[in-house]
Amino acid sequence: MHGGMQKRNWSGRAIVLLPYLWLVVFFLTPFVIVLKISLSQTAMAQPPYTPVFDLSAGLAGLREFVGELSFDSFQLLFTDLIYLLSYLKSLQVAAISTLVLLLIGYPFAYGIARAPRGWQPLLVMAVVLPFWTSFLIRVYAWINILQRDGLLNDVLMKLHIVDAPVSWLSSDTAIYIGMVYSYLPFMVLPLYAVLEKMDETLLEAAADLGCPRWKTFWLVVVPLSLPGAAAGALLCFIPIVGEFVIPDLLGGSETLLIGQTLWSEFFSNRDWPVASAIAVTLLVLLLVPMLFYERLQKRSLEGGR
Amino acid sequence: MQRGASPFNIVSVAFGLAFLYLPITILVIYSFNASRLVTVWGGWSLAWYRELLNDAALLQSAWISLRVGVLSATAATILGTLAAVALVRLGRFRGRLLFSGMVYAPLVMPEVITGLSLLLLFVALNVDRGFWTITIAHTTLTMCFVTVIVQSRLIGFDRSLEEAAMDLGCPPLKTFLTITLPLIAPAIAAGWMLAFTLSLDDLVIASFTTGPGATTLPIRIYSEVRLGVKPEINAVCTIMIAVVAAGTIVASLITKGSAARRERAALGAQV
């Protein structure tokens, strides 16, 4: 047995080496570079920032390099109101969207969990299927509906609810619809996973003891489903804060979300240091919810190991 | 979970499904609309699909996306499966905390951050951007999804078969290839499918890491969509939905079939 263990250790190292190296090179190193460029200054050059670290200059080059680093980009982020408003708007949109997602997703997941056993895989599949179809397509589908001469206005005018077409697109309402629509499967699936596993006898016990159904729901079902609700909420909240496609296609141009601000700093202004500084602050902002999510994920996958 | 759905349960499921499917259904129906206007129904027609076949730029983008998807999904499946085996089977090893952190982080990392950081890496390495940089970026993004899927299969997995093979003198690598791999194959297949569709779908990371001559389908669609609704785009989207739906259904039939076979085998063993 001991010999086998040692052998497994050796082959284990070989197994972990390839994905480990890949992630260090293509996931960890890029963040170090982003951090470095966020401390650089914009320049009219290729690449458009200074200082550029020159490996061949050795230790002296390193000292010179460190001396030239600056916090200008971060200073700009905290003094120019545009960026601060952009962060606040992102947090607001993410918080409200997550709340709406919980309100719609919970009854949805609960209904699936209570459906007859034979139906459940089919219903789960029905929730997953849109998640497999392209994000871009799902957002685009809403443009068809929400645009000025689109279906929603058509229906509303035929029903005489409105007299003139309303511009639904380029508004916060459209952003919320897009967010809730695109992220609904992410909310429903973790919720369903905990609700489906819930011990039936607990509910029967409550019913036998004369607890009304709604009270059982609040006192037993909801508390037991909190891990699923937390996982779903984080799985929606974190990416929504940095979302780009949905606000860009459905939203207006008054206040940009932070993902759009990063995008335009990079692609339109070609200000790489500021774009990097936005990425760094966004990451710091999301670090706590991300660590929280990782712990939930680890606990559910590794059984609290 | 207590069975027996109340009217409220039925209504909330029906509402949820309608919300999920109505917009897509409308999009699909209007791709067959003869009229160019969205609100005017001009009868059924395949005109926009015929137009697609003549759009060389669009077809080329589709071809690029397809190749990026197959290559990155395959690489991601290999790397992701290895990572899952390492996380489940190796117990504690040096650097495990960093490793699992790097595996789970991309699942929720905003795409703009991943895209920007990868682009800056490619610039720092002075690599020509294009087909290969998108493929590498997609591999990095999607391998983590593969890991999670394979990992959950490996955890709910009977190790006695592996142990039996090892006890009978089968070397570890051979045990892995002949016993473990076939048993987790459905999860690996599902992981590949997910990686492929994620790659086919991605706009943000591809936009950051692309270069001249490597315009993927989402980048092409995005630039068209910004200009407004076009029936041709409805047609492209319908084709993509059909491909993905067919793939998902086939994949679920495969996993279901293998699950049924396993169950039958288990029953046979009991009898």
Total of domains in chain B: 1
Residue B2, in any domain of the structure: no
Q: Cα–Cα distance between B204 and B112 in angstroms, integer?
A: 6
* B contacts of A127 (beta carbons < 8 Å): 16, 20
Nearest to A27 among B140, B148, B252 (CB): B140
pLDDT at A75: 82
pLDDT (tens digit, 9 = 90+) per residue, B204-227?
999 999 988 889 999 998 988 887
pLDDT (tens digit, 9 = 90+) per residue, B13-31?
999 999 999 988 888 888 8
- Greater model confidence, A36 or B94: A36
DSSP calls for A40-61: SEE-SSSSSEEPPP-GGGHHHH
Chain B residue with the nearest C-alpha to that of A110 = B9
Q: Cα–Cα distance between A223 and B1 in angstroms, integer?
A: 14
* B6 with A114: Cβ contact below 8 A: yes
Residue spans of alpha helices (H) in chain A? 2-23, 29-38, 58-68, 72-79, 81-114, 120-132, 135-146, 151-158, 172-197, 200-208, 213-216, 222-224, 226-241, 245-250, 258-267, 272-302
B89 vs chain A: nearest CA distance in angstroms?
A: 8
Residue B54, in any domain of the structure: yes
Give the structural domain span for B252.
48-270
* A20 with B95: Cβ contact below 8 A: yes
Residue A137, in any domain of the structure: yes
pLDDT at B4: 67
Residue A52, in any domain of the structure: no
* B contacts of A196 (beta carbons < 8 Å): 1
Chain B, 60-99: which have a CB under 8 Å from a chain A CB?
Answer: 78-80, 82-83, 85-90, 93, 95, 99
Residue B20, in any domain of the structure: no
Residue A182, in any domain of the structure: yes
CB proximity B166 to A under 8 Å: yes
Residue A14, in any domain of the structure: no
Chain B, 206-245: which have a CB under 8 Å from a chain A CB?
Answer: 208, 218, 221-222, 225-226, 228-229, 233-234, 237, 240-241, 244-245
- pLDDT mean by block of 10 residues, chain A; 305 residues: 48 81 92 87 67 62 68 82 90 96 94 87 85 82 83 81 80 92 92 86 84 83 89 92 91 85 89 90 89 80 52
Q: Which two tokens stand for residue A176?
A: 């919320």
b/e per residue, B15-29, with b = 16+ CB within 10 A?
ebbebbeebbebbbe
B271 vs chain A: nearest CA distance in angstroms?
A: 26
Q: Cα–Cα distance between A140 and A143 in angstroms, integer?
A: 5
Give the structural domain span for A134.
77-302
Chain A residue with the nearest C-alpha to that of B167 = A1
pLDDT at B88: 86
At A209, which CATH number?
A: 1.10.3720.10
Total of domains in chain A: 1
Residue B15, in any domain of the structure: no
Residue A58, in any domain of the structure: no
* B105 with A24: Cβ contact below 8 A: no
Chain B residue with the nearest C-alpha to that of A149 = B39
At B72, which CATH number?
A: 1.10.3720.10
ipTM: 0.83
* A147 with B228: Cβ contact below 8 A: yes
